Amino acid sequence: MEFVSITDQEVELYKERFNLELGWYMSVCPMKVIENDKEIALIDCSEGMYGDDSIQIEQFEVFEKKHGWGSKIINQAIQDLSDYRIFVYVNDSNSKAFWIKKGFKPVDDGTGTEIYCYGCN
Residues 64-93 that bind ligand COA (CB under 6 A): 65-71, 88, 90, 92
CB of 42 to ligand COA, least distance (A): 9
The reply to whether 23 sits near ligand COA by the rule CB under 6 A is: no
CB of 31 to ligand COA, least distance (A): 14
The stretch among 11-19, 31-39, 97-105, 109-117 that binds ligand COA (CB under 6 A) is: 97-105
The reply to whether 3 sits near ligand COA by the rule CB under 6 A is: no
CA nearest 40: which of 59, 18, 25, 24? 18
CA nearest 116: which of 106, 46, 78, 71? 106
Classify strands 38-47 and 30-35 as parallel, antiparallel or unpaired: antiparallel
The reply to whether 60 sits near ligand COA by the rule CB under 6 A is: yes
Task: Measure the CA–CA gap between 1 and 82, rounded to whole angstroms.
Answer: 17
Tell me the number of residues near ligand COA by CB under 6 A.
21
Q: What is the three-state SS of 82-111?
A: CCCEEEECCCCHHHHHHHHHCCCEEEECCC
Per CB under 6 A, residues contacting ligand COA are 21-22, 59-62, 65-71, 88, 90, 92, 94-95, 97-98, 101
